[in-house]
Chain A
Amino acid sequence: MKPTLDPITLEILFNGLRSITDETYIALTRSAYSTNIKERRDHSTAICDADGVLIVQAENSLPIHLASMIGLMDSLLAKFGRENIHEGDLFVANDPHVAGGTHLPDINLALPIFEAGELVAFVCNIAHHADVGGMVPGSMAGGMSEIYQEGLRIPVVRLFRQGEMQQDLFDLMLLNVRLPEERLGDYYAQIAACRLGERRLREMIGKYSIDQLRAAFDDIVSRTEQRMRDGVRTIPDGVYEFEDVMDDDGLGAVDIPIKLRIEIDGDSMHADFSGTSPQVQGNINVTMNATQAAVAYCMKGMLDPDIPNNQGVLNVCETSAPEGCLLNCVAPAPVAARAHTSQRIVDVVIGALAQAMPEAAVGAANGANTTAVFSGIDPATGQGYLYLETLGGGFGGRNDRDGTDGVQVHITNTSNLPIEVIETEYPLRVESYGLIEDSGGAGRYRGGMGIRRVIGPIGHDCTFNGAGERFRHEPWGIFGGQPGGRGRFVRVGADGAEQGLDIKPAGVTLGAGEKVIVESPGAGGYGNAAERDADAIATDRAGGKFSAEFLSTYYGAIGSGE
C-alpha cells in the first residue's frame, strides 16, 4: 500500500527532484560542444517513472522536448517491455516516426534506474546535436522530401547493455555524422548528465523510501493535472475555432492551412485539427506528440505559467489531428523545420481562445523560427565551418502592455551568439544587428519589432541556407490591432544591388564582399490603435522605432506629433 503524502512532505520531495533535473540541465549546457546546446540551450532533462510517465522536467526545458521525452518512453516500453530493461542499460533514439522524436537532430537518452532489482524510474535528457548526417551540413536544411535525406534515423536502441558500451553501434552512429569528434563530446556530455542524475536520484532513494518516492511521482502528476483542470474550468464552455496558413514548405506548396476547433466542456478540453492540410513534401511537418506539446505550451501560458511541467499538463490537453496531415505526419515525411509549424500552432490556439480569454490572449508573434545558416571553408585554417542561428522577432501586443521587441517567442527561447564570438569563430562579419523600423503592428498595445541582421563572408565564398515564415502573411493583430511586419531574406551583391531570396532559400552562394540581410517578422498589435496612450506614441517617436509616416497613418494627429 503506497503512503499518501501530505503537502509538506510532497513539496520537499518535489523540491529534491526539481533540483536534480535543474542540476543535470546546467551540467549539460556547460559541458556540451554543439552550439545548439551550449549557447542556444536547445536541450532538456527529465525524470520519468517506471511506466514512462513524465514526472519532472528542468525548469528551462523546451516545450517541444516534453513531447519527445514521452514519445521516447512510449516507444521504449512498447518495444522492450519492462522485462527486457536491465540495470546498466542506456537507451538512445531520435526518430520521429518510430521512436517518438520530433526531428532527427534531437538525440534522446534514457537511463533506467533500479533499486533492489526493480525498475524505479528513468533519467532522461535530450540535446540538439549540430549535425546528424544527411544531405546538408547541420541536418536542418529544407529542400528535401523524405526523412531519409535529413540524417541518421535511430530507433530506440541500447547504447549501453548492462553496463557495457555497444562500441560497434556507437561507431556506426558516429560514422554517419559530420565532425564526429565534436558529436562524441556531445554524447559524453549527455551520458555524464544521465549518470549525474542517477547519482542524485540514488541519494534521494537513500534518504526516503522507494514507496515514498513512488507516491510522490503519482501525487505530483495527479495534482498537476487537477490544477490544470481547475484552469480549464475558468474558460467558458463552448466551441472555439480559428484558421491560419503557413507561408510555404520550401518545395512549392504555399498557403498551407492549419485549422483548429477547440471544445471546452467543464474541466475538459479537446483540440481538433481536422481540416488542416495533408502533410507536405517540405520539412515543416509535425508529429502528433509535438502538436500536442505546442497545444500544451499554449494552454499553460494562457492559464497558469507556473504550473509544473509533467504528464499532468498533457493529460488535460487532449489533441487530435487526422493521420497523415501536416500536424500528425507519418513516415517518410521530413520534419526538420517543425519548429516553424509549432509556432503557428500556438498562434492558432491563441486565436481560437482569444474571445474566451481576452486577458490572456496576445497578438500573433513573429510566428517563425527564422533560421540563417552559413557554411564554407575557413580560408585561414582550411577547415570546414557551419554557423547556424535562429533570430527572434516581435512578440504580440498584450492586454496591458506592448509586445516585446526582438525576442525569441513561444516554443523557442534560444540565446543569440555574441557578435564577438561569431566573428572570432567563423570567417564572417556582422555589419549590423538591430530592430526593424515600423515592424511592430500598431494597436492600443503595439506588437513587438522584428530583427535585422546583415552578415557576409570575409575573403572567401560561403553557402547560405535559410528558413523563414510569416514572410508572405503578416502576423495578425488582435481585437482591432494592426498586423506586424513581414520578414525577408535579401542578398546584397558586392555592388550593393539587392536581390530578394526565397522564404526558404537553399544553397545560395555568397562571394567575398557579398552579404545577406536577414529580417525576422514583427508581431501583431492588441486593440484599436486609436486607443493608444499619447505617452506611448511619444516614446515610439522619440526612440525612432517608428517613422513619422507610420505614426501619422495609424495614430492620426497625435501620431504626427501635432
Chain B
Amino acid sequence: MVWFVGVDVGGTFTDFYAFDAERGLEHVYKTPSTPADPADAILNGLDSLCEIAAIASDDISRFAHGTTVATNALLQRKGAPVALITTEGFRDLLEIGRQIRPKLYDFKADNPPPLVPRQNRFEIKERVGSRGEVVVPLEESTIAEAIDAVKQSGAEACAVGLLFAFLNPEHERRIGSALREALPDVFVSLSSSVQPEFREFERLSTTALNAYLQPIVTRYMDRLKDGLQPRAPNAAVGINQSSGGLMSIERAGEFPVRTALSGPAAGAVGAMHTAAQAGRQNIITLDMGGTSADVCLVRDGAAGIGYDQKIADFPVRLPMVDVNTVGAGGGSIAWFDRDGLMKVGPISAGAVPGPACYGQGGTEPTVSDANLVLGRLSPAGLLGGAMALDQKAAHAAFEPAAAQLGFSVEKAAHGVLGIVVSNMVRAIRAISVERGHDPREFSLMAFGGAGPLHAIDVAHALDMREVIVPASPGILCAQGLVVSDLKEDFVVSARIVADMPGMAETSRHVATLMAEAENWFAEEDVAPDRRDLQLSFDMRYVGQNYELNVLLDGVVDTSSAPIAFDCEDLKQRFFTAHEMNYGYFNPDDAVEIVNFRLTARGRLPRPTLTETEMTQRAPDPVGSRTVYFDGDAAVDAALFDRTQLLPGQEIAGPAVIDQLDSTTLVYPGDRARVDRAHNLIIELADAT
C-alpha cells in the first residue's frame, strides 16, 4: 500500500485527502483548523485519518501540504523584526517604493508602512553598475560595521538588497556569509537568491517579505517535521508554492514568501487534474467561498503564471499561479451606494454574524440569503442538514431593499445574484478576454462551497457552453496537493536584443539555467525519466517597459546538448503574443529579451482513475424543490443527492443537486451527466 496524503489548511477547516495509488482507494477527512498552531490540527487530524482509514504510518509515501502560515503572518503583521542592508544612498527606497498613492482621489488611503522600520535599514558603501561592473568596491571593514548595526537592532532576520545584485551577486553573497558566520541565529535573505530580477523596489520588497517570514515559517516547518517523523517516517514531504508546485520543507523555510499564495494555487492544480480526468484541456476555474471568489485560466492543461502580485498590499515579484480574486462570496452583502446604485460586496458578513439565514444575528441581505429566498439553497441547510437555514430571516433581510426597489423580494434577490455574477464575470474577463482568450473555448469549472450555485449564470453571461462540477468541490485544494509536482523556477535577468548577435548570449544564459536545473534535479533526487523543463522568455519591443512572457514550447529537453536559438523564430513567437494581448504588432521594430526563465519539474506519480462502470439507468430524485431560476416565477425542480449519482447517469434541468458542502443548479433546458470520474458535466442549452 502506498498512500499519498494532501492537507490543506483553510481558515475554518483543515482538509485531508488520502489516496492509495495501488488500490485506488480514497479518503476524505475534515477537522477544525487550529489557528494558534496550525500543526496541531494537521498532526491530530492525521492521527484520526489514519485510524479511520486504517493507514499504517509506514505506508504513507508522500505528504503534501498547503500552508497559510505565511499569508496569515503577513495579513496580521506577525512576522519577525527585520533589518535591511542596502547600498549607500538608498535606505529609503523600500519606503518610497514607486512614489504612488494607492488611490488617486482618496486623501487618506496609504500604502502599508514598510516592514523594516527606518532605524533598521542600514546602508553599506558599495556600488555595482548597470553592466554588473563594480563601481565602488565593498570593504571588509564596512561589512563588520553593518553586522554590528544589525546585531544592535535586535532583528531576528536580515534582508540584503543591493543595486544591480541580479547582475552581480558577489557583494550580497559576501555580506550574507559574513552575517551567517557572525550572527548564526539571524535568518538571512539575499535579493539575488530570493528573486534575481531587475527593478530594485519590487526585488527589495520581495526580499524583505521573505526575511520577515523566515523565522516564523522555519519554526513552523521544524515543528511539522518533528511531528511527521513518527507519523509518516517514509513520507517525502512537499510544501506547496504559489506557483503551483511542491518544494522541500527546508526550501520552504528558506523561501517562505513563495508560500504566500499557495492556497489558491493548490485549487488551480486540483482543478487542472480534475479537468484532465474529464478530458478537458481548457478551463476557467471559479472557486467561490464565503467572502471571495478566485478565478484562474487553464489553457492546454497549464495554468497561467503571473509575476507581479500584491500580498497584504505589498508588491511581490515571484512566479505565482495567475489567480484573480474578487470580493464576491456567499457572505457578500448587498447595499445601496450613495448614488442609489445597488452594489454587492466586497463587504462580507463573514462567519460571524454570517448571512441573515444563519440565524446568528445577521440582518443585512447577503448572497446566501438571496439563494435561500430563491429556493436555490436547501432550507435544510449546509453540511447535510447539520446547520439549518432560516428562510424567514433571509426573506426579512431582503424586504427593505425590495421595498426601495419597488420589487418583490424574489426579484430583488434575483437582482443581487445578477450583480454578484457580473462582478465575477468582470474578474473572468480580466484573465481571459483581456489577454486574448475567448471564454467560449473554455469550460467553467466551479468549486468551493458557492461556486456550483452560480456557475450556470456566469457561464451564460460569457457564452460558455459547459460547466464542470468536481466530485468533491469542497476539497479540491487538498486533492490538488496530492497531484502536484515538485517544482523550481530559475531566472536570469539580462537585456539582450533578439537579433543574430544576441543569440549566442541567449544560448549562454539558457545553458546557465539548464545547469542550475540539473543541480536541482540531482539535489531533489528526481529520476531522469521524471524530469520536465519549460523555457520562457520575457520579451518586449525595445523601448517598451512591460514585457510579455513568451513560452518556448518544445525548445529545451533534459539532454544537456547546447541549444541554438533562431532569432526570427523568437520574434515570431513574440509577435503572436503581442497580437494576442494588444491586438497588433509591428514586424519591423526591434525586440529584446529581458528575463530568461526556466521551470524545472519533477513529475511525481499521480493517482490514476480506476475503471468504473457506466450505467444507463436514470437517477432517482430524492424529492423536489421550488426554485426561482429567474426573478419572476418559480418552477418545481427535481432534487438529487449527489452521493447517489453514478457515472453515466443524466439529469435534465430544471434540477437541484445537493451534496455535503455544495449545491449545483441545473437550469431548465440544460443537461447534466456524471462522467467516469464522478464529475458533473453540465451542457448549457444554446448559449444566448
Contacts and interface: CB of A to CB of B under 8 A. Distances in A.
Do A and B pair up? The answer is: yes
Interface of A: 6-12, 14-16, 19, 23, 26-27, 29-33, 35, 38-39, 60, 62-63, 181-182, 185, 188-189, 192, 195-196, 223-224, 226-227, 230, 297, 300-302, 304-308, 360, 362, 391-392, 395, 398, 400-401, 404-409, 413-416, 418-421, 423-424, 429-435, 451, 454, 542-545
Nearest to A400: B108
Interface of B: 88-93, 95-96, 98-101, 103-111, 117-119, 129-130, 135, 163-164, 166, 198-201, 336, 338-343, 405-407, 412, 415-416, 418-419, 422-423, 426, 429-430, 433-434, 495, 541, 543-546, 578, 581-584, 586, 589
> Which 6 pairs, one residue from A and one from B, show the smallest C-beta to C-beta distance?
A432-B89, A543-B118, A8-B415, A434-B92, A38-B545, A227-B339
Contact of B118 (A15, A63, A544): A544
Contacts of A192: 582-584
A223 B582 CA distance: 34
Nearest to B688: A207
A196 B426 CA distance: 16
Given A185-B589, A188-B586, A305-B106, A33 B338 contact: no
B546 A30 contact: yes
Contacts of B342: 7-8, 11
Given A223-B341, A307-B339, A418-B201, A407 B419 contact: no
A360 B106 CA distance: 10
Given A33-B544, A424-B495, A542 B418 contact: no
A31 B436 CA distance: 14
Contacts of A182: 543
12 contacts: A6-B405, A6-B406, A8-B416, A11-B343, A27-B434, A31-B544, A189-B582, A305-B107, A429-B135, A430-B89, A435-B96, A542-B117
Contact of B101 (A391, A408, A421, A435): A408
B499 to A, nearest CB: 15
Contacts of A62: 104
Contact of A413 (B104, B108, B343, B495): B104
Given A420-B130, A420-B163, A433-B90, A391 B99 contact: yes
Contacts of B541: 33, 185
Contacts of A434: 89-93, 96
Contacts of B100: 392, 407-408, 413-415
A377 to B, nearest CB: 18
Contacts of A226: 339-340
Given A15-B422, A433-B90, A543-B117, A408 B99 contact: yes
Nearest to A417: B545
A435 B545 contact: no
A223 B421 CA distance: 23
Contact of A421 (B109, B198, B341): B198
A301 B104 CA distance: 9
Contact of B99 (A6, A10, A415): A415
A416 B89 contact: no
Given A31-B578, A185-B543, A405-B96, 9 more contacts: A7-B340, A16-B422, A301-B107, A360-B107, A395-B101, A401-B110, A407-B101, A408-B99, A435-B92
Contacts of A19: 426, 429
Nearest to A228: B339
Given A6-B405, A424-B495, A406 B96 contact: yes
Contacts of A33: 541, 543-544
B522 to A, nearest CB: 33
Contacts of A454: 89
Contacts of B407: 6
Interface majority SS (helix, strand, loop, mixed), chain B:
loop
Contact of A30 (B201, B495, B582): B582
Contacts of B339: 223-224, 226-227, 307-308
A431 B418 contact: no
Among B100, B135, B163, B545: residue with most chain A CB under 10 A: B545
Given A11-B341, A30-B546, A301-B106, A419 B419 contact: no
B133 to A, nearest CB: 11
Among B111, B166, B339, B578: residue with most chain A CB under 10 A: B339
Given A12-B418, A433-B89, A451 B106 contact: no
A544 B338 contact: no
Given A415-B100, A418-B201, A12 B544 contact: no
Contacts of B406: 6
A23 B336 CA distance: 26
A424 B130 contact: yes
Contacts of B107: 301-302, 305, 360, 362, 395, 398
B108 A401 contact: yes
A406 B341 contact: no
Nearest to A188: B584
Contact of B582 (A27, A300, A431, A545): A27
A170 to B, nearest CB: 15
A227 B100 CA distance: 28
A227 B338 contact: yes
Contacts of B416: 8
Contacts of B426: 15-16, 19
Contacts of A26: 434
A79 B389 CA distance: 63
A420 B198 contact: yes
B545 A39 contact: yes
Nearest to A41: B100
A418 B418 contact: no
Contacts of A360: 107
A129 B316 CA distance: 30
A170 B89 CA distance: 46
Contact of A195 (B91, B108, B583): B583
A467 B589 CA distance: 34
B301 to A, nearest CB: 26
B341 A10 contact: yes
Contact of A32 (B99, B201, B340, B544): B544
Given A188-B584, A424-B198, A545-B118, A431 B405 contact: no
Contacts of A181: 589
Contacts of B405: 6-8
Contact of B119 (A16, A395, A543): A543
Contacts of B434: 23, 26-27
Contacts of B495: 424
A195 B342 CA distance: 31
B341 A14 contact: yes
B101 A30 contact: no
Contacts of B200: 418-420
Nearest to B109: A305
Contacts of B545: 35, 38-39, 421
A421 B199 contact: yes
Contacts of B419: 8, 11-12, 15
A451 B92 CA distance: 10
Contacts of B89: 430-434, 454
Contact of B415 (A6, A404, A430): A6
Contacts of A10: 341
A468 B423 CA distance: 43
Contacts of A544: 118-119
Contacts of A400: 108
Among B100, B198, B200: residue with most chain A CB under 10 A: B100
B131 to A, nearest CB: 9
Contact of A398 (B93, B104, B105, B108): B108
